[in-house]
Amino acid sequence: MASIVLLSGGLDSLVAAWAVRETHPPHLAITFDYSQQAATRETESALAVCAEMGLEHRLVKLPWMARLMPASLGDPARDLSAADDASVWVPARNAVFVAIAAAHAEALDCDTIVCGFNAEEAATFPDNSPEFVAACDAMLALATRNHPRLHSPTLALTKREIAALGLELGAPLHLTWSCYGPGPEHCWECPSCRRLRGALQETGQFERWSELRRRA
């Protein structure tokens, strides 16, 4: 029941990884650098999470995706406060990620690919939805010999519910990086930052999260 974890370093993927430690023990975490502004920060966060979990990490670079990147994600000069969900869509991104994870899953004899999808973003991004998960499972039944399946413990949850689950599990939420920007701090203006802050505030964790990040 070993798994490959798609670990962006953000809230959803961290909580998903933490939630499956006993049911689908992670064998490897994969982070992608596809020329997004936040690539370095996301990788740093993913490495910190893996250190906490004692988990092997692999960075996969996809430089060709830079040509497909929306300006709001790839151009540091763009004002992220003006970005909306539609402007940060990367064509077929999650399908590419799943295919690469599936290749690792087959090679490493893992039967599960763990993803941090969520109900809020599925409303805008169809590659976060239950339909996408089902379609990927059907595809992988034909594309691989060991037929790994996608598993997302956060699939039906809102951001607030994911933050609450992370708190319940004792996950190190302060290690996450959710901003679309390159840092060094979260901008709190882009859509991803706004969702994170709302979830942390609604669960009473924002002050504690901020303090732990300052200490890290």
Q: How confident is the model at residue 161 (pLDDT cuts 50, 70, 90)?
A: very high
Mean pLDDT confidence for 163-173? 97
**Rounded percentage of the chain residues whose pLDDT exceeds 90:** 80
Per-residue pLDDT tens digits for 74-90: 556 556 666 666 667 88
Please give the average per-residue pLDDT across 14-33, as a whole number. 98
Tokens of 134: 């089902």
* β-strands 3-6, 26-33 pairing: parallel
User: 158: number of CA atoms within 13 Å, CB side?
Assistant: 8
Q: From CA 23, how far away is CA 189, in angstroms rounded?
A: 36
Q: Sheet with 112-114: list strands edge to edge.
A: 57-61, 26-33, 3-6, 112-114, 149-151
Please, how many CA atoms are within 13 Å of residue 75, restricted to the half-sphere of its CB?
13
How far CA 112 is from CA of 1, 36, 109, in Å, comes to 7, 26, 9
Average pLDDT of the residues of the chain: 92
What pLDDT does 88 receive?
Answer: 76
Give residue 106's pLDDT. 98
Whole-number pLDDT of residue 213: 92
pLDDT at 72: 55
Q: Please report the pLDDT score of residue 216 as a whole number.
A: 76
Residue 84 and residue 93: Cα distance in Å, rounded? 17
Tens digits of residue pLDDT in 131-154: 999 999 999 999 999 999 999 999
Structural domain spans, the chain: 3-215
Alpha helices in the chain (DSSP H): 11-19, 39-53, 71-74, 93-107, 119-122, 130-143, 159-169, 191-202, 206-215
pLDDT digits (tens, 9 = 90+) for 88-126: 788 899 999 999 999 999 999 999 999 999 999 898 889
Within 10 Å of residue 207's Cβ, how many Cβ atoms?
Answer: 10
CATH of domain 3-215: 3.40.50.620
